[in-house]
Every structure is written in structure tokens, then in C-alpha cells.
Structure 1
């Protein structure tokens, strides 16, 4: 069943066939979700893994653009799942503040926050991320901690993001990111990034080394890394 043909009253198949390349399996009907940052139209998406792997559920949060910005490509934030930062409010990373800033900006300017599951720890998973934290506590940076575990420093796949954005009709976007790798991978999936909009949040003493590693070893565009300044 294609996205366009999905109906709320349709009986879902017991064993849905794998989606064709570039498609999603199904999506929910949009529902209105009020938050402290604004009210969003929220849709859940079910997308198969990039090589026929398990189906993963993702979620998009969208808001309309104000009249003066309706002719611009929509703002889009691809946010990788981070339980420790997004839910627990950990200060070891900048994920939670980046998510909340994205929601604020999308509520004000319109666009979509696409929350991507199975991206925990840049794709290595929650348990391995916590193991990497232990190595970081002993002095390793985030890149070396992953490699000491025999894992890649960056393992995220954006195939699901490309499929969902295509299904939403968002083929040209202004991307909220500091990460050039994310831009390159999204464009390789057929999404045109018309503009890269910096998405920097404040540094803390607790995540300063983490942010410096992102800047110096992963080439993120971060401008100020003194606690209390924008990072």
C-alpha cells in the first residue's frame, strides 16, 4: 500500500510485504500535539531497514510556515534519537537542547522535525553508548571510545529520512544542522539541501570536550566552545 493510498479505516495486513525502494511501509494519520514549544501536526512512520532490516518507527512534527516565509524551502531538522539527552536531560551531550531548539524554530518558522529512531549513540545503540561513556570517563574522546569498542565513530543511516521526506513531498529543504556529513548523505538520497541553517546551542562544562571532538574530529561547524557561549 502506498502512502497516498493509506486510509485510517483500512485493515492492516498481518504480514505486510517489504516496501519498494524509496517508499515507506505506512504512516499514521496526522494528529495535533500541543507542547511547550507550540502545537505540531505529528505523524508516525514505519520504514524498513536500509538493507531489508527490521522495520523502525519514526515520527515527524510539522508546523505551517508564516505567510512571509511560505515561498522559502521548508526548514527541516533531522534529530537522532538520544534517550539520555532527550528524555533524561543529560548534560554529557547537546542533543536535548538541540531538539527543543528545533521545536521552537519549527513552531515559529514552519517546517518539520523528523525524529529518527535507532540512531542512539550515532547508531551504535544505547548499551554500547553507555559502554562508550565508561571509556570516556577514563579519558577517551567520543571517537576513540567507539573505536576501542570495535565500533564505527559514525554509524547512522539516513535512508529512512530520505524516504519520509520524499513521501511528505519535501524534496528541497533548508536543513537545520552543524554537521556536513548529514548534508552530504541526505543529498545522496535525492533530497536537495537549498540552505544549511546553523543549529548551535550553549556549551556546558560537562559537554565541552564532547563538542570539541565534534568540531575537531567530525568536522561539525561549531563556532564558540566556551561554557555559557553558543557552541
Structure 2
């Protein structure tokens, strides 16, 4: 069964990649400097940006994060569709990010009364693939994630970290710290954020800002 990638899906995926390239240039980061934070070869970033190679979903999540952005699910009304806001005990950071993206799509399918097999036919994958994606057992390819969201009337996109939900700081591979949480619950059930969480995605202390400072240090 072949994945049903139409022009709209290709354009949506290209827009994500172009946005990340623009974010890197705005942060004045070289491809090699960005690659050190992923970590991959500098050539890999070039191949992703030119479309020569499709990154894995894990790489796309990390790539976005290092530039102060975050993958999000967006409804037709332009509003974000939020997933879980807290990690499960022992859950790795990447697995949490994948679950955060999968839950709104699963909820949408259920709200539409659509079976996994029916959705699989629309996407161009098996019922088992949809089940594995929803349970976060196997990550889809990024372009498949775009199609998955598209067939449910949603879209996959990126937003600055502070706009994509609570600003989570990656701590190794074991978990996330949540700096600046005020403890108040805002709209969509998201914890309120203090000034630290609302810093510019490319400013000092942000992922892109820290990488840029490191790159400046090497040039000096």
C-alpha cells in the first residue's frame, strides 16, 4: 500500500522545512553549528534543507527544538490542538513529544467515528500502522505524519516553543524540566507561563540563542 502524498501534503512538508531553514538563518547559525546540537553531521542538515534526504521524525523534533520551535497539530481554525502536557514516569523526551502529537489525531479520529482501518485507507497505510502511530510504538515518517493529520482535517506545523505549549527544557534523554511554570492553568488546560518561559525563541538562553553563542565562541 502506497502512502497517499498529494500536492497539498508536499507543500505543507516543504513549508515546515523552509521555516526551519529560515529560523537557522535568522539565528545566524551555520549548518555545522546546528548539527552539533542534534547531533548529526553538518552535511545531514544541508541534505534535509535541500530535500535530498527526509529526516526521521525524531530528527525533525530535535531539529525544530534546537531552533526554538516545536512541532504542533493545528486545526482548520488555526488553533492548536493540544496533547498531553506532562511526561509519564520514565518516558523519554522524544517519546513524549511524539505522544503529544499523536493524541490530538487519535482524539480527532474517534470524534469523527472513524475506524483505524478506514483512516489507514485514506492515508495509504495499514490499520496496524495507524494503531502503532497512535500508541507511539513506531514513529511515522514526517511526510506520513503530515498526511495523517491532513486526512483528519488537521495539519502538522511548527510554532515558537513558547507558543506551542509549556516551554519544556530537555534534560539529557531522561526527562524534561519545566522552568517558569506559575502553576496557573490557562486556556486549553495549559499551565500558565512566567517571563522565563516567554522569552524569544532566538534570544539569549533559548536553544537557538545558546547555539549561536557557542558558534560565536568558536569563531572567536
Which structure has more relative contact order (CA 8 Å, sep 6+)? It is 2
Give the TM-score of the pair, scaled to structure 1: 0.25
Quick check: which one's helix share is greater? 2
Give the TM-score of the pair, scaled to structure 2: 0.26
Quick check: which one's strand share is greater? 1
